[in-house]
Amino acid sequence: MLLLEAGPDHGSAHTPAGVASANFHLAAATPGRTWPDLTVRRHPSSAPVAYLQGRGVGGGSAVNAMVSMIGQPGDYDRWVTLGATGWGWRDVAPVFAALERGRHVTPTGIAAALRSPNGPLSACADYDVPGAIGMAPARLMLDEEGRRRSTNDLYLEAARKRPNLVIRGEVLVDSLLFAGPDERRVVGVRLASGEEVEAAHVVLSAGAIGSPRLLLRSGIDLAGIGLGLRDHPAMAFRVPSPIGAKDGPLISAVGRFSSGIGGGECDLQFLPVDWVGDDGDGKPFGVLLVALMEVRSTGRVTVDQVEVNAIDDELDAHRLAAGVRMAADALTHFGIAPIGVDATTIDASASTDDILKFVVANLADYQHACGTAKMGTAQDESAVVDISGAVIGHSGLSVFDASVFPDLPRANPNLTTVMVAERMAGFRMLRES
């Protein structure tokens, strides 16, 4: 078995300090661990900006915020209605339970970071706003010593001693190789260097940006490739912080809220981040992130562009605006002036039109790309893989990553991505046995 990794490869003992850190800013800033030239257009009126996606062993789990969430049961039951038979809540719940038992998912206490000098947002953790389901301690992928637990640590490390596994790092795959000009059987890959590598079966795990791009470069002619891109759009309210950079977790609580708009339930998230950086005067600041978790708007990935098209759907726009109003109200209630990323402010009593304009001007995202090679049935023109991850109409080719999600769950998707890979790998093993 050959694993080709586009970024750095290393065992857990040689993980760079920033990547091992619970501080995701330090992880993402580690040289070579994100794609330097990857940009996204969040909104049709926005200019392209950097889009952080993991590079190297562990992928996104090596640089993300490590928030471990499952979402709502209805998220997965919706997958079934979208054609992913066998992926309903009853099917996936046991896998999530097994992951949480064995993967050192550590709940960090609100008291440790939100009610002490470590964090600035303690008041908001208690604030009772309409639609609040409540703040709860964040569950993070950390070990007992507070180090990040990436998929490199949890899966690949244990497999490195296997005699049948070879890992090659810093290797870029350019395209797929086919058995012949008109064949749909994949027999290997062509590297950016020109080298050709033969394989009995190719599994892509390049993420919701990399996997569809590789399929497109290879001439796979399925209409759904690259379409259906979803991300969690967000707004960041700046707040003063009494702390500076540190190695420990910067997130200790997650809030779930319901906008109530269009029946929206658990469709909003509050995520306090205790430290982001220092302002122009050298004073540290954190942010209160407000994100829309139930997303209807979709974008696309092409060979050279990523367009999220966030809040294009009117319901999405109004739900996120409702979350911004809640956050502005919570912050000002406790005397913290909410400031957008461009140093403008918004008042909770502002009109909906003004809040919508504010949101567009300050729109951010969670870098939670998914859905660009969705699983479904061969009768669904938007589907790219079947329910086992095999690329429809082709042999010798599968996709196991967040690109296959039929829809984005109401959760930070790290654990969902691991769950999908676990199940699809199991399906593959059953097929080969």
Q: For 247-263, what is each residue's pLDDT tens digit?
A: 778 887 788 889 999 98
Other residues' Cβ atoms within 10 Å of the Cβ of residue 175: 17
Instruction: Specify the pTM.
Output: 0.92
Say what the pLDDT of residue 110 is. Answer: 28
Is pLDDT above 50 for 113? no
> Would you kindly state where each structural domain of the chain is located, as residue ranges?
2-20+55-66+149-227+370-432, 105-141+233-294+311-362
Question: For 317-338, what is each residue's pLDDT tens digit?
Answer: 999 999 999 888 877 766 666 6
Say what the pLDDT of residue 114 is. Answer: 33
Say what the pLDDT of residue 167 is. Answer: 98
Is residue 234 within 8 A of residue 289, CB to CB? The reply is: yes
Say what the pLDDT of residue 385 is. Answer: 98
Say what the pLDDT of residue 276 is. Answer: 87
In CATH, what is the architecture of 105-141+233-294+311-362? 2-Layer Sandwich (3.30)
In CATH, what is the architecture of 2-20+55-66+149-227+370-432? 3-Layer(bba) Sandwich (3.50)
pLDDT band for position 306 (cuts 50, 70, 90)? very high
